[in-house]
Structure 1
Amino acid sequence: MIVVIPSLEPDRRLPDLVCDIRRELPDAQILVVDDGSGPGYCPIFQEARDNGARVIGYYRNRGKGYALRTAFRWCLENAPGQEVVCADSDGQHRPADIAAVAREARSDPQALVLGVRAFAGDVPARSRFGNAMSAQFFRLASGVKVSDTQTGLRGYGPDQLKDLLDVPGDRFEWELNALLAAADAKRRIVQTPIETVYIDANSGSHFRPLRDSWRVFRPLLAFAGAGVFCWALELALFLALAGHFNLLAAVVGSRLTSGVVNFALNKLGVFRDHSTDRTWSQVRQYTLLALVLMAVTYAGVEALGLLHVPLWLAKIATDVLGFAVSFAVQRRFIFRTRPHGRALKEGSGRARQSTATAAS
């Protein structure tokens, strides 16, 4: 068992955590990754070494995702066949909870094990809101319900490490991308309850709200941006064509052009699918989705009108529903990322209360 601790500009909690983990998991190796903290933090990392950790790292800050991939590469080269548990260095993860996730990872090495928090008690508002948004986005994108998508306490079996090297993202978005990759590969996601711990309102976190939120929610925000752009393009084309052709030609021409542009933006820009072998199949699926959503919008507005809902409100409600359905279908089916590694079969294991994962 290897416990990986990515660390940027740590304080005294890091060497203390190393001591606590050694007491809780005496047989585990502890690997600390210095994510470019700088010379001023050398005494802290040296104390972590003195307490029994191996410290590796690099000179320039690269982000948590990069640090984790660096650790996984080290594990594959120096300790193959070992389960890996990742924990944060800021005191949020109790040694007993790290040990609980380690036990789950050892008993079910094909699963991705998450130490999930209940977010009860005195939790910073930004953390509570951010996790709620991230959990809803993950469920929309994957169809899998996970209560704590932002947890840094995770357990991986040795066969997962090579696939984790292919997960994109160098900073905090890597952890959500790793969850999405696990869902795409049909990997079982195990949720183990842990204590919710925030110290000084999570002041030790290096999460940058604007920049890192964009990285985490980039697919959803980019999808919305592409939709708004294509709506404006369709409107402009409609007005231009209506002045020279009949109404039918203006509607069809503007809708067809904006649909082609939207397909290209979603495929290449939003979902970053650069494959060519599935393009025509994706075009057919995208066209069918557009027709279905058009029919659903019409039926929804009609139904809400019968309930005396104002026309503008009915249109907004059906458009919001259509946006969510369109994103989910395109992410899960039309432009679905194909796993780099082999697809994993669902483990048949016994049902346990701490490992329940609900599919929506």
Structure 2
Amino acid sequence: MKTAVLICPGRGTYTKTELGSLARFPDPALLARFDAERARLGQETLSALDGAQSYSVARHTRGDNASALIYACTLGDALSLQDVEVVAVTGNSMGWYSALACAGAVSPMDGFTVVNTMGTLMQEALIGGQTVYPFMGEDWQDAPLRRAELLALVEDIGDRAGHDLALSIDLGGMLVIAGNEAGLKAFESAVPPVQGRFPLRLGNHAAFHTALQAPVAAKGRAVLPESLFTQPAKPLIDGRGQVWWPGAATTAALRDYTLGHQVVEPYDFTAAIRTAAREFAPDYFIVPGPGTTLGGAVAQSLIRANWRGLASKSDFQRLQAEDPFLISMALPDQRPLVTGDTK
């Protein structure tokens, strides 16, 4: 049986092409419970959002809607896995909440409570924003000097009066930068446009993983008790690249990280993937839905870790063509490799 690390996607992965994704959710009764909880809270149900006739940026990217949608899509795909042994679970940003459920550190319903609560709190506060900028070129070769230059620029801008700016996510070959409007504008005007779309401001995203989110973290701690958490059944790799081992993690520490460091400090996705590769050496790196955009960041992180000698995009493409190891479950040709689906 093939071994795998499951890598849960974060915000921004449910786009117009993902409408209808929940049609393949394998547990209709569980999805109905999610819908009932949303209805009880006066929120639009996931079935209604996913079954909409058309995609709306204003509606579908809101934190109180997007977070729960993404969680359900990810969990559904995780429940659909067959004939693979998941040896560890990690995620990107909001994907940490999904990872908790996929690793058994919260029940599916308690995980829904965590993600729906945090998504709603962040949407209500909507403090600051995020912009994305690559330091790798289109060949995906590592560029540590360019990365250091950009981080120095971020620090310089963040030190200016009235400017909040900090690293939000170390995302493979890209940096997700977060701050207030003055900080973001200063950064975006200081870097040259590259690849036809960067710097890219992310709509309906707050300044996640920075000190600006301290009020949101405090509200989360006030309403999400330790009793929601339990010992993980699978090893969990967090946003520092650290492993939470079954039997060694305390529920108090897990809650403290989830509603503390994870919210207000930078999220090092690259370190999480490096740990996944080096500590667990899986046959597969599986990215559940929704979407496929996280696959590039996983590949870039593996290049930065020099996994199996990877040094460029062409190296990755060659190795992937020879024997696929990065599986995006939203891709029809890759999904059957880990679910047994024939349709």
Q: So what's the TM-score if we normalise by structure 2?
A: 0.25
- TM-score after normalising by structure 1: 0.24
Structure with the higher fraction of residues in helix conformation = 1
The structure that has the greater radius of gyration is 1
